[in-house]
A and B are shown apart, each in its own frame.
Chain A
Amino acid sequence: MAKVWIDGETSIEVEDADGVNAVSLTVDDKKVIVSAGQTVLEAVQRMNGIGNIPALCNHPAVKPYGACRICTVEVSEDGGSKFKFVAACLYSVKEGLIVKTNTEKIKKLRRGIIELMLARCPNVKRIQELAEEYGVEKPRFVLGDQDCILCGLCVRACQEIIGKSAISLVNRGIYREVAAPFYAYELTEECIGCGDCAFVCPTGAIEMGPDGRPILPKVKIPYGEIEALMKKEAATPS
C-alpha cells in the first residue's frame, strides 16, 4: 500500500498497480500515479492543485514544440541527487521521476523569460498577467511593441491540423516572423479561412479580417534594424 495524491488536497492509499500502464512520479513532493506515454506538462496540467507549470507555446491539438521555455521544470531521474532543467512540454514521464515545478531557480528563470517576453510585447494581456503572477515589473530593456511571441502555434495548427501550411515561420533569430508564402503578409488562396491560427494564438496577435481570412501580426522587426538592412541591400548593386 502506498499513499498517492489525486489532487492538491486529497490522498488515497493504493495497492501496487502492477501490469497497469502507469508510472509513479513525485511532483513537488507529492507522489502521484499517471498514465505512461505522456509528457510532464500533460500529466501535471491534468492534476488539480499539484504543481504549477505555465505554458504558452503548447496546445493539446498540436505536437509539443518547446519554444517558449516558460514550462521549464527541474527533474531528477536518479532519485533526487542530480536535477536538470527540462521543458515539461517535451519531457516524457517515467517511473520514479522527481519533478519540481516551482523552485526558486525555476521562478527566477521564468521571471527572466517573462521579462524578455514583456520587453518584446509590453501590451499583450497574457504576458502582463504572467508578469504580475511572477512579480516582473518594468523590463530592463528597450521596449518593443509587438504582439507575437513567435510560439509557432498558428503555423503548426495550419500545418498539422488543416494540412495547408498557408503560413510559416520565416527568417531566423530576432528577425523571425510569421508570413504567408513568398514572404507576403497578405494571405493567398492557400488559406481556407478556418480561423484555427487565430483560435490557438495565445496572445491574440492574429485576428480574423473582414474577408474571412486572418490578419497576420505584422512584425515590427526589432527597433528599425531590418529597415536599415533593407536600405543597405537596396543601395548595394547586386
Chain B
Amino acid sequence: MVEQVRRLLEKRVGSVAELEKLRQSIVDKKDSGRTCISVCGGTACRASGAEAVVDAFVDEIERRELQVQVEMKETGCHGFCEKGPLVVIEPKKIFYQQVKPEDVAEIIAETVLGGKVIERLLYVDPVSSERITYESDVPFYKRQTRTIFGANGTIDPTNIEDYIAIGGYSALSKVLTGMKPQKVIDEVKKSGLRGRGGGGFPTGRKWQSCRDIKGAIKYVICNADEGDPGAYQDRSLLEGNPHSVLEGMIIGAYAIGSHQGYIYVRNEYPLAVRHARIAIEQAMDYGLLGENILGSGFDFTVTINKGGGAFVCGESSALMASLEGKIGEPKAKYVHMSEKGLWDSPSLLNNVKTWANVPLIINKGADWYSKIGTAGSKGTMIFSLVGNINNTGLVEVPMGITLREMIFDIGGGIPNGKKFKAVQTGGPSGGCIPEQFLDTPVDFDELTKLGSMMGSGGMIVMDEDTCMVDVAKYFVEFLKGESCGKCTPCREGINRMSEVLNAITQGKGKREDLETLEDLAGILSAGALCALGQTAANPVLSTLRYFRDEYLAHIDEKKCPAGVCRELIQYSIDPERCEGCLRCLRACPTGAIVGEKREVHTLNQGLCIKCGACYDVCKFDAVIRQ
C-alpha cells in the first residue's frame, strides 16, 4: 500500500514545468536511431490477424535477445485497413503489408538485423505496379493531411508517455498557465471548428452558450456512440489516441467551468473502451486528470459510460437520457442541451473527432487551423472509405478535397475494373451522390446542397452492380430497426417506407408509390421528433432525385437494371457457352441445376432461389442473369 502510494506520488506531475521536465526525460531516453517495429493493433488489423503477428514479434525478439536494440509497439489503427496487418519499421518507416506470423522471423533477420528490404511484403501500387518501400510514399498516405490521425501509427495508446513524448498535454499546459477560459473559447471560435459528429454546429458557439449559462454543475461529454454502417473513425481515434480526446475534453471543461466529464462509448467497441479506461487511469496517475490538475487548482474527472449500441443514442438528448439511466429516447430540444442537458444541467457534448481537434487548435493557433479547409468548413475531416473501393480505410483530408480525389487518388478507384456509380455519405441520414458530382469539394455545406450530408464521415462507394433502390431499402431497413418508436412519423413512417420499397424491389410497385415515398419523406422531415427521423428519408430522396429511372425500371418494366433484386432477376444457362463442367451444378445449394459431365446443363426455375452461386463460379460466362 505504502509502496503504491509512493509510486503514485512519484508519477504525479505537479506543475507545467514538471511536465516539461518529464517530457524531456522521456525524449532523452528514446534513441531516435533505434529500430522500432510498430504493428497496427486497430480492430480491422486485429481481425486480419495482427495479434498473432505481435506475439510472433515478441517471441522472436526474446529468442534473439534483442530487447535492448529493438523496440516493439502495438499501435492504434494506421488507416490502411485493406492491407492489414500492417507493420512499419522505424526509423526509416519501411512499410510491410499483409504480414503473417510466418514472416516475422524473416523480417527480424533480414530487415531489422540485415538492413535489407523484403520485396514480397511491400505494397504494390495497382496503378504503376511499382513496389513501394516507405510508408510516406504509399499513395494512400501521401495525399492525406494527417493532423489528427497521424499519431495513431506512432504511439502506443496504452502508454501515456508515448503521447507526452510527441508533445501531448502541452495544449493543456498552455491553457492552464496562460489562457483565461474565455480566451480558450475565443480561440476555438476563431478556428472555425464545426462539430464533427454530423450536425456541423460551430463548436465555439456551443461552448460559449454553455459557458454563459449560470449553473454550479456543468458536464462535458464525449460522444463515442458511433453507429453509422461503414463508419469507424471515432472508434479508431479512441482506440489509437485516447489521450488526444481526453486532452480536448479537459480543455473544454476548463473553458466552460465543468468538473465532471463522461465518455459515452458503445459496448461493442471493447478495445476503445479498454484504451479509454487505461488512458483515464494513467492521466489520473500523472495528475493530468483529477484534483488540482498540473497544480492549477482546476479539478476535472472523466467517467466512461458504456452504451448498449442503440443508434439513436448518438443523438444528444437520447445519449443524455441513457447516461441518466433512462431509456435512450430523444426529447425535444427547443432549449439547447448546452443550456439544459444532462440532469437538466448545462452540458457540452462533442464528437470524438471534435475533441481531438481542440489540442491542435490550442497548440498551433486558430490562425493556422483556419487556413486548412474551405470558407465554411475548417480543418481536416477523417472519412472512412468503404464499399466497392480498392483502398478501404480511414482517410484524413483537408475539407474541400473533391470526391474524385478521395475515391480515385487516395482510394485507388473501384476494384475489378468496374464503373463508379455513386457514393453514399453521412450514414443513414445522408444521401447518395452520383458520378456527375464527383468534382464537388467535400465540406459541410456542399454535401448538404447535394441532398446528402457530412455526418460522421462515413463514405460508402458503390459500383455499377449496385441497385440504388436496394441501397435506399437497406438504409430504411436499418433505421426501421433503430427508430426508438417514440414519435409517430418516425416509427410508422419509416416502417411504411420500408413496406413501399420492399414492394418496389419485389416487382409489386406502382407509379403512385413514388409520390407516397415523397409524402412520407415530407412527414418525416417536418414532423419527426429528432434528427434520426427528420433525416431518415435522405437516402430515399437522394436516390429518387438522381436515380429515378432505376425506380421506374423496377416499377414499369419489373426489371432490376443492376441485377440485384432477387424477385426481378432470372438466371439461365446459355447452351451455346455451357461446357458441362459441373461447377455450377455443385455450387447450387438447392439442386436446381441438372446435367451430366460435358453435356449442357439446365436450370430448373422452380427450384432456383436466385442466390447467384452459379453465376459466380461459371468460368465460361454461360450463366446469364437477366
Contact = CB atoms under 8 A, between A and B. Distances in A.
B491 interface: yes
A109 B526 contact: yes
B10 to A, nearest CB: 49
Interface string A161-192: 00000000101111110000000000000000
A66 B332 contact: yes
A90 B332 contact: yes
Contacts of B500: 141
A174 B485 contact: yes
B480 A116 contact: no
A119 B496 CA distance: 10
A124 interface: no
B485 A69 contact: no
Contact of B334 (A69, A90, A113, A142): A90
29 contacts: A65-B486, A66-B332, A69-B489, A70-B488, A72-B527, A85-B526, A85-B527, A90-B332, A108-B522, A112-B520, A112-B522, A112-B523, A116-B488, A116-B493, A116-B496, A117-B492, A141-B496, A142-B499, A149-B488, A150-B485, A169-B485, A172-B310, A172-B312, A172-B482, A172-B485, A174-B494, A176-B484, A176-B485, A176-B491
A4 interface: no
A100 interface: no
B311 to A, nearest CB: 10
Contacts of B520: 112
A87 interface: yes
Contacts of B331: 66
Nearest to A223: B499
Nearest to A85: B526
B375 to A, nearest CB: 23
A169 B489 CA distance: 18
Contact of B491 (A92, A109, A141, A173): A173
Contacts of B493: 112, 116
B481 interface: yes
A87 B481 contact: no
A176 B519 CA distance: 24
B482 A173 contact: yes
A103 to B, nearest CB: 11
A69 B488 contact: yes
A130 to B, nearest CB: 12
Interface in A105-157: 105, 108-109, 112-113, 116-117, 119-120, 140-142, 149-150, 152
Given A108-B522, A112-B493, A172-B310, 14 more contacts: A67-B487, A67-B488, A69-B487, A85-B527, A90-B334, A91-B332, A109-B527, A112-B522, A113-B488, A119-B492, A172-B312, A173-B483, A176-B484, A176-B485
Contact of A112 (B334, B482, B487, B527): B527
Interface residues of B, number: 34
Nearest to A113: B488
B498 to A, nearest CB: 9
Contacts of B516: 140
A222 interface: yes
B602 interface: no
B528 interface: yes
B370 interface: no
Contacts of B310: 172
Given A140-B516, A172-B483, A113 B523 contact: yes
Nearest to A64: B332
B495 interface: yes
Contacts of B487: 66-69
A109 B334 CA distance: 20
A69 B528 contact: yes
A155 B529 CA distance: 19
Interface string B516-537: 1001101100111100000000
Given A66-B529, A113-B523, A173 B488 contact: no
A86 interface: yes
A109 B520 CA distance: 9
Nearest to A108: B522
A40 to B, nearest CB: 10
Nearest to B510: A140
A174 B332 contact: no
Contacts of A69: 487-489, 527-529
A67 B334 contact: no
A175 B494 CA distance: 13
Interface of A: 65-70, 72, 85-87, 90-92, 105, 108-109, 112-113, 116-117, 119-120, 140-142, 149-150, 152, 169, 171-176, 222
B480 A67 contact: no
A217 B520 CA distance: 27
Interface in B299-343: 310, 312, 327, 331-332, 334
B526 to A, nearest CB: 5
A127 to B, nearest CB: 11
Nearest to B330: A66
B526 A175 contact: no
Given A66-B487, A116-B488, A140-B516, A174 B495 contact: yes
Given A109-B526, A113-B488, A117-B488, A141 B499 contact: yes
A109 B488 contact: no
Contacts of A85: 526-527
A69 B332 CA distance: 11
A140 B334 CA distance: 33
Given A119-B496, A173-B480, A174-B483, A68 B526 contact: no
Contacts of B489: 69, 112-113, 116
A169 B491 CA distance: 14
B449 to A, nearest CB: 19
Contacts of B486: 65-67, 152
Contacts of A119: 492, 496
A161 to B, nearest CB: 18
B522 A116 contact: no
B491 A174 contact: yes
Contacts of B485: 150, 169, 171-176
Counting chain B CB atoms within 10 Å of each CB, which of A67, A150, A173 scores highest? A173
A62 B271 CA distance: 43
A176 B493 CA distance: 14
Contacts of A87: 332, 529
A169 B492 CA distance: 16
Contact of B484 (A68, A113, A173): A173
A69 B480 CA distance: 18
A82 B488 CA distance: 25
A152 B527 CA distance: 18
B478 to A, nearest CB: 11
A152 B529 CA distance: 15
Nearest 6 interchain pairs by C-beta: A176-B485, A112-B523, A116-B492, A173-B483, A90-B332, A174-B495
A111 to B, nearest CB: 9
A176 to B, nearest CB: 4
Please indicate which of the listed interface residues B499, B512, B526, B528 has the most CB atoms of chain A within 10 Å of its own CB: B526
A119 B484 CA distance: 20
Nearest to A70: B488
Contacts of B482: 172-173
A171 B329 CA distance: 12
Contacts of B312: 172
Contact of B523 (A109, A120, A172, A222): A109
Contacts of B526: 72, 85, 105, 109
B582 to A, nearest CB: 33
